[in-house]
Amino acid sequence: MIPASFTPILATALVVAQWVGSMGLERLNRSHTEATRGKVPEAFQETVSEATHAKSIDYTLAKSRFADLSGAVEAAVLLMALWSGVFPMLREAWVGSGVGGVWRDALWLFGVGMLLSVPSIPLEWWAQFRLEARFGFNTTTVGTWILDRVKGMILAAVLGLPLLALILKLVDWMGGAWWIWAWATLLGFQILILFLAPVWIMPLFNKFTPLPEGSLRDRLLRLGEKTGFNARTIQVMDGSKRSRHANAFFTGFGRFRKIVLYDTLISQLSEEELEAVLAHEIGHHRRRHIPQRLAWSSVTSLAGFWVVGWLAARPGFAGAFGFGAEAGVAPALLLFGLLSSPVLFWFSPLGNLWSRRHEYEADAYAKAAVGSAIPLMGALRKLSEKNLANLTPHPWYSTFHYSHPTLVEREAALRS
């Protein structure tokens, strides 16, 4: 067993290792990408101009340098918080606030989370109004950007605080088995959100309107009937309100299922290409990728709660970070949440490998559904060009950061 006195040193090592690893991957990818300037990949020499390719490289390099900065800030803030004793100090302040029971710890956890997010606010602003605007993607206003964050904070408080309080109360109700009931509670909450999000949450941020009658709507509805994916409605989301990036997805379950297309996607693709993109999304549904991911998420969250329960039963763990012997479960929840990311970073290639396999399967389904690979390839090329996607990422970088195969890899699979 690791001595309690060594725990903060191990935590520091984990945070630093993630930061160094991320920075190394960014520099490796920048060097690899810069070397391809002026050399459009052979497969796209007839469809991607040198000017567009050069601009995509500039965009990749700009995002990479920003990732270095944001990663350094995030690591520094976390290390300062872990070593400064600010977490137990804030908890002691809450103890004397007059708020008692589980609500005290729930408010403390929520407050710490909000406090840790403060340093990222100027970085998010810069990314939106400087980096994205520089390359022509930003369409949001300062007012919308601020309102989004206010809404997000209120939503987190309304939904998150009662959930935290309930999980902490389960410690009193269920004793040593609390973590199993906490996991079941979280799982039920996530399923509930899947139903509520399309109806109540998403409309708080975006406007959804039915796709007008016409050839596109008829084409997509025929595709749904052909593939057994009978959606209740096809809706258009005003994605252009915030960005020129494009996307499509479906949401909801059963008779509440609906297809959602970004208005930017409709403006960028032909009807055949939109049909192929939708067929790809239906492929995820037909291949049962979403239930598989939900099942895996439930398994990992169960393991996470077991670890929290194990750590909470060892006062030396929280004590090593300045918490008292009777600190309870709340500090273990906080510390686990903060330190799990540096650990999971090194396992991200496994998750990305599984995700890319699903993308290949969805692409193959779309190819069969529309009878040709050409419409999907055309859509992927246009989206890659419009989004200034990096056509030549370093293999190690894509292994750690890409949940989707590169355009070159997807086209090779579609052709085969």
Q: What would the mean pLDDT of 9-16 be, rounded to a whole number?
A: 93
The catalytically annotated residue of 26, 281, 359, 411 is: 281
Q: Looking at residue 253, what is its pLDDT?
A: 66
pTM over 0.85: yes
Neighbours of 153 (CB within 10 A): 14
pLDDT in tens, 138-181: 999 999 999 999 999 999 999 999 999 999 999 989 988 999 99
What does the pLDDT read at residue 292?
92
Q: What is the mean pLDDT of the chain?
A: 90
Each residue's pLDDT tens digit, 192-204:
888 888 888 899 9
- Give, in order, the Cα–Cα distances in Å from 135 to each of 20, 26, 298, 337: 28, 20, 39, 34
Provide the pLDDT for residue 252.
Answer: 67
pLDDT attached to residue 45: 79
| pLDDT value of position 351 | 94
Active-site residue identified among 105, 359, 363, 411? 363
Quote the pLDDT of residue 246: 85
Q: pLDDT class for 256, splitting at 50, 70, 90?
A: low
238 is catalytic: no
User: Quick check: 70 pLDDT over 90?
Assistant: yes
* pLDDT beyond 80 at 98: no
CB 110 within 8 A of CB 333: no
The yes-or-no verdict on residue 369 having pLDDT over 60 is: yes
pLDDT for 194 equals 82
pLDDT band for position 254 (50/70/90)? low
Residue 5 has pLDDT above 60, yes or no: no
Distance of CA 208 to the CA centre of its chain: 22
Least confident segment among 87-91, 110-114, 279-283: 87-91
Which helix (H) or strand (E) segment holds residue 152: the answer is helix 142-174
Of 13-27, 30-44, 85-99, 287-301, which has the strongest mean pLDDT? 13-27
Nearest to 133 by CA among 65, 68, 239, 62: 62
In angstroms, the CA 202 to CA 240 distance is 15
* Residue 50 annotated to the active site: no
Q: Which residues of 235-264 are buried (b: 16+ CB within 10 A; e: fewer)?
A: bbbebbebbbbbbbebbbeeeebbbbbbbb
Range scoring the smallest mean pLDDT among 46-60, 121-135, 139-153, 350-364 = 46-60
* Confidence grade of residue 8 (pLDDT, cut at 50, 70, 90): confident
Contact (Cβ atoms closer than 8 angstroms) between residue 308 and residue 183: no
Higher-pLDDT residue of 306 and 251 is: 306
